[in-house]
Amino acid sequence: MLNPNAKLNQDLFDESKLKMTATRDGFGEGLVLAGEENENVVALSADLTESTRVEAFAKKFPERFFEVGVAEQNLATIAAGLGVSGKIPFIASYATFSPGRNWEQIRTTIAYNDSNVKIVGAHAGVSVGPDGATHQAIEDISTMRVMANMKVIVPCDAIEAKKATLAAAKIWGPVYIRLGREKSPVFTTDETPFTPGKVEVLWSPSSGSGRLLKPQVLIIGCGQLLYNALIAARDLEKEKIGVIVLNSHTIKPLDEKKIIELARKTGAVVTVEEHQVLGGLGGAVAEILAKNAPCPMEFIGMQDVFGESGPASELVEKYGMGILNIKTAVKKVLRRKR
């Protein structure tokens, strides 16, 4: 059942009532709010102001918005200078370009230099769709989380993206926020708790009616695929398989304590992310479990391949990140349990 403490949208399994909004829209809204809260918030764009949703901020605070042109290295490094001069710069582009093209500049001038810059990578994942693999960032969680001094947040819907943006403006130091292009289900609410670095249980086996299902598998996800994980959890419960669904929106710092605790409880883990299975959320979870609570794991994500053009939902299916794939992974990991 849905965790009542998570205060999720109660209609989330009713597709007719579900609101669909892209996480980038939540970011755009959050950025304006952050700008209202703190006059030191500034924003920079590299010729993608509208599609990264920085436009509303740029219109509202023209003197605090800087257009750098198609120049992502300049985007990161100008922000680095602003960030050590009392400003809180948000830089937005497509994740393949920033933090893709400008990785070293981010490493040296933002992370190592400890400049207060917030890097926003939009159009992450294969759900970017028709633009194809060149524009589908599937490596950005890995490349950002391996950087010392960098925090990494992957919001699951537009509301969480708004909260993450506001939180990032208040956190001192470099933060990476990963966003999607496509509209996706808004299944959290304004009341859903969000604390960077803390996981949130979204689903756990029902305790009310009849027999209590034991939690047998822990599903840890981030981003919009968590919605698929919730549907999978509901379906699995009908098959008498109890799972916990955990929203690990913060990949760094990972909520190690809670993940270890729940992995010990279930003894099996499936990770779900719209990202390479190499080095992303799954990799981060595997690192801490190998050390503290080794157990069978399955990894939902891009299996060391590039994406391609196509409709978002079909790409997610084709590359093994659909609801059925998650259910299959849960059953597989169950069989691997001793």
Enzyme catalytic residues: 72
For other proteins, give the closer residue by CB, 42 or 202: 42
Q: Residue 252, Cα to own-chain centre: how many angstroms?
A: 11
Among candidates 190, 309, 188, 185, which has minimal Cα distance to 247?
Answer: 188
Query: Residue 82 Cβ, how far from other proteins at the closest point, in Å?
Result: 4
**Closer to other proteins by Cβ: residue 84 or 293:** 84
Residue number, 108 or 207, with CB nearest to other proteins:
108
Which residues inside 77-96 make contact with other proteins, applying CB under 8 A?
77-87, 89
Contact pick of 45, 105, 142, 248 for other proteins (by CB under 8 A):
105
Residue from 3, 51, 74, 292 binding other proteins (CB under 8 A): 74
* Cα 140 to Cα 69, 154, 195, 276, distances in angstroms: 22, 11, 22, 9
Q: Is 66 in the site for other proteins (CB under 8 A)?
A: yes
63 is a contact residue toward other proteins (CB under 8 A): yes
Closer Cβ to other proteins, 71 or 201, answer by number: 71
The answer to the question of residue 250 lying near other proteins (CB under 8 A) is no
DSSP state of 201: E
**Of the residues 73, 96, 116, 143, which one makes contact with other proteins according to CB under 8 A:** 73
How many CB atoms sit inside 10 A of residue 45's CB? Answer: 24
Of residues 18, 19, 51, 64, which one binds other proteins by CB under 8 A? 64
- The CB density around residue 224, as the number of other CB atoms within 10 Å, is 30
The minimum distance between CB 87 and other proteins, in angstroms, equals 5
Contact pick of 10, 69, 214, 287 for other proteins (by CB under 8 A): 69
SS3 323: helix
Minimum CB separation from other proteins for residue 114, in Å? 6
229 belongs to the binding site for other proteins (CB under 8 A) = no
- Give the pair of three-digit tokens for residue 20: 């669909």
Q: Is 110 or 153 the residue whose CB approaches other proteins more closely?
A: 110
String of DSSP letters for 135-165: G-B-SHHHHHHTSTT-EEE--SSHHHHHHHH
CA pair distance 304, 301, nearest whole angstrom: 9
| Cα 273 to Cα 121: distance, rounded to the nearest angstrom | 16
Burial class (CB in 10 A: 0-12, 13-18, 19+), 63: exposed
CB of 58 to other proteins, least distance (A): 15
Question: Between the CA atoms of 308, 223, 184 and 19, what dihedral angle is there, to the nearest 10 degrees?
Answer: 180
Residue number with CB closer to other proteins (13 or 66): 66
Site string for other proteins, 26-45 (x = CB under 8 A): ----------------x---
Q: Does 62 sit near other proteins (CB under 8 A)? A: no
Separation CA 140–CA 175 (nearest Å): 13
Give the C-alpha separation, 126 to 68, whole Å.
27
Q: Catalog residues that contact other proteins under the rule CB under 8 A.
A: 42, 63-64, 66, 68-69, 71, 73-74, 76-87, 89, 104-105, 108-109, 112-114
